[in-house]
């Protein structure tokens, strides 16, 4: 079982966001999905500070539920809306499982391919907002046995006293989930009162689950390149587009699944390791200045250490020390004499200054990540700095202290891009675009 998405215990955990998903389709009848794959599944991201949001603020610990809405009808697409909270875990998908269907909210994870939810009987379960799934009450639940061809064939392949195929999932923040593998129907409700059913989905029945899940979510939905991923079930492509992570009025952020995903813009190869999407970062520029960084700093070793991961579940960007130090020095040189530095002793080395990004950093040099085969990811001031509070902004890049993984390109660095993954071609595409244009 691959370790799943990155979670870092810093101030940035309050900047992460989670997403709730509801679905609308063209059909008003119940549809069973077996061999047929939808052209596109489109999810719209709703900012937590907007009037459509479920929560108040990225920087508040005590959040209030607000109201959600369903998406507009779009021909030949599955369209959905998403809302965010400040728990910093993952995207959350709203669907139902089993027959009769039981509603669930699960976090979308680009670092794993398994779907799992908490199940009765549960030896150790966290609090969730939806009912815990009881497989004994579902007519479509089927256990996977140890000798099932679907049971993952790996050195870690194990079974329990009931001869059930079992799984163990672990997360970078220490959260874990374990239980048995099974198949079940996943049901999406549509805005026109119909449903779409994905039949016999392999999932994990979580019997022992610990960590920072407590709250709304009931499990995890993996989006990595594995055979059991929902990406593979719906096709071989997915993309996400973030217009402005901190603009509560921007309503066109979206996540798309399926073979209809648009693969446009410059691209760079990726490879997968332990469920993560790794890219080759060759250098960093600030304005016209190419930083003096040895490209080997960003390479993954044969033992699996280091490398650069593209991640949609991490807000900030984390760079290996020998890549972060030159960037930190260049930023300090540019702001020296213009801004008063603010020190946060709980996060050593975090570059923070008095001022406002939108007002004081106009014309600040862009930062460019240079990837293999000519693909660039360009960050303006709003992607490079975060407004920590009304009078202090901070660099949204920190030195990495992540175990095994050297560097992570977070979602703030990917704002104003449609980032698309082709699992067959093993390429990731960067298209700088207003996300609203993708709806045409």
CA-nearest of 199, 205, 170, 164 to 184 is 199
109 part of the active site: yes
227 part of the active site: no
Catalytically annotated residue among 109, 113, 185, 422: 109
Catalytically annotated residue among 85, 113, 311, 422: 311
- Residue 292: other Cβ atoms inside 10 A: 10
Query: Peptide bond before 100: cis, by omega within 30 degrees of 0?
Result: yes
Residues with catalytic annotation? 109, 311
């Amino acid at each position: 079982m691959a370790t799943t998405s990155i979670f870092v215990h810093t101030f940035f955990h309050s900047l992460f966001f989670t997403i709730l998903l509801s679905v609308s389709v063209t059909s008003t009848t119940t549809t069973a999905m077996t061999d047929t794959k939808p052209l596109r599944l489109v999810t719209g991201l709703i900012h937590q500070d907007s009037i459509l949001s479920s929560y108040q603020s990225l920087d508040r610990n005590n959040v209030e539920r607000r109201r959600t809405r369903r998406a507009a009808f779009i021909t030949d697409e599955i369209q959905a809306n998403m809302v965010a909270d400040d728990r910093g875990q993952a995207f959350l998908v709203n669907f139902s499982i089993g027959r009769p269907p039981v509603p669930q909210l699960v976090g979308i994870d680009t670092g794993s391919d398994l779907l799992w939810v908490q199940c009765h009987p549960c030896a150790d379960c966290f609090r969730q907002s939806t009912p815990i799934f009881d497989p004994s009450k579902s007519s479509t639940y089927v256990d996977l046995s140890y000798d099932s061809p679907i049971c993952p064939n790996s050195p870690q392949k194990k079974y329990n006293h009931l001869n059930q195929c079992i799984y163990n999932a672990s997360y970078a923040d220490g959260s874990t989930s374990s239980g048995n593998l099974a198949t079940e129907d996943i049901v999406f409700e549509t805005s026109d009162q119909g449903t779409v059913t994905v039949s016999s989905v392999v999932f994990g029945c979580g019997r022992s689950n610990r960590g920072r899940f407590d709250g709304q979510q009931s499990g995890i939905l993996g989006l990595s390149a594995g055979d059991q991923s929902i990406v593979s079930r719906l096709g071989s492509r997915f993309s996400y587009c973030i217009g402005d992570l901190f603009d509560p009025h921007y309503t066109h952020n979206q996540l798309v699944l399926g073979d209809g995903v648009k693969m446009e813009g410059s691209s760079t190869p990726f490879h997968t390791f332990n469920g993560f999407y790794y890219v080759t970062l060759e250098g960093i520029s600030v304005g016209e200045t190419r930083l003096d960084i040895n490209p080997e700093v960003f390479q993954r070793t044969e033992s699996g250490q280091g490398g650069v991961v593209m991640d949609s579940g991490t807000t900030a960007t984390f760079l290996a020390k020998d890549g972060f130090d030159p960037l930190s020095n260049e930023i300090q040189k540019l702001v020296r004499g213009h801004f008063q530095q603010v020190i946060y002793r709980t996060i050593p080395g975090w570059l923070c200054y008095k001022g406002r990004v939108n007002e004081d950093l106009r014309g600040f040099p862009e930062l460019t990540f240079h990837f293999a085969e000519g693909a660039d990811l360009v960050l303006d001031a709003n992607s490079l700095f975060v407004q920590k509070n009304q009078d202090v902004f901070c660099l949204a890049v920190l030195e990495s202290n992540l175990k095994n993984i050297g560097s992570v390109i977070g979602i703030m660095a990917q704002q104003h891009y449609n980032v698309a993954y082709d699992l067959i071609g093993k390429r990731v595409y960067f298209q700088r675009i207003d996300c609203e244009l993708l709806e045409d």
